[in-house]
Amino acid sequence: MKFFIDTANLNEIREAYDLGVLDGVTTNPSLMAKEGIKGEENVKAHYKAICDIVDNNVSAEVIATDFDTMIKEGEELAKIDEKIVVKIPMIRDGVKAIKYLTAQGIRTNCTLVFSAGQAILAAKAGASYVSPFIGRLDDIAYDGLSLIEQIVQIYDNYGYATEVLAASIRHTMHLVQCAEIGADVATCPLKVITSLLNHPLTDSGLKQFLADHHKVNS
């Protein structure tokens, strides 16, 4: 399973990359706003800075919601760096834009996906990634992980090349369960990635090993 980090914060991206397990980055307009990035040129420069840290797969989201402006924005974003994946919302014009950009050889990530039907449309349009939001479904008492399971099954049935990118991951068990189900990618905050390191038996075991070593070596 690929690990993406879901942030626009450069320090967090560097920290995850330095761990050696990072395969990409996802951003969205809210995450960009959180970093105070505004204005077209600053936004592009920020995406470039992200691309300079990681090896591949930097999702940059369009703001437009109509086909013509979406594809224009998508083409502009794709010019920033070959690592860019254009993130497009799951709306009618978005599906058309995914189809168009895919035909131009531009990779896309279909975002704001909350149903299996939407995921089928994204795959049929040729999206490189589909992003079902687990946490936001859980928030409204739907089972986000079941949706991932359903989409993985459907894509397997038909051999769709679209990769299932589990998004809106809130904790480590979401991530582990996505891996069990067979999601291709999990995007999550830095805290979720680093929390995977933690186990009390690792801490107590290491403490004991070092204490035993020092007993005979001091």
Binding residues (CB under 6 A) for ligand G3P: these are 6, 26, 28, 133, 135-136, 167-168, 187
Beta carbon nearer to ligand G3P, 6 or 149: 6
Catalytic residue among 38, 44, 87, 124: 87
Beta carbon nearer to ligand G3P, 57 or 216: 57
Among residues 57, 130, 126, the alpha carbon closest in space to that of 90 is found at: 130
Beta carbon nearer to ligand G3P, 191 or 213: 191
Beta carbon nearer to ligand G3P, 74 or 210: 74
**Judging by beta carbons within 10 Å of its beta carbon (0-12, 13-18, 19+), is residue 15 exposed, middle or buried?**
middle
Q: Is 96 a catalytic residue?
A: no
Both tokens of residue 124?
């049929």
Instruction: Write down the least CB distance from residue 29 to ligand G3P, Å.
Output: 10
Among residues 67, 70, 47, 71, the alpha carbon closest in space to that of 59 is found at: 47
- Looking at the annotation, which residues are catalytic? 87
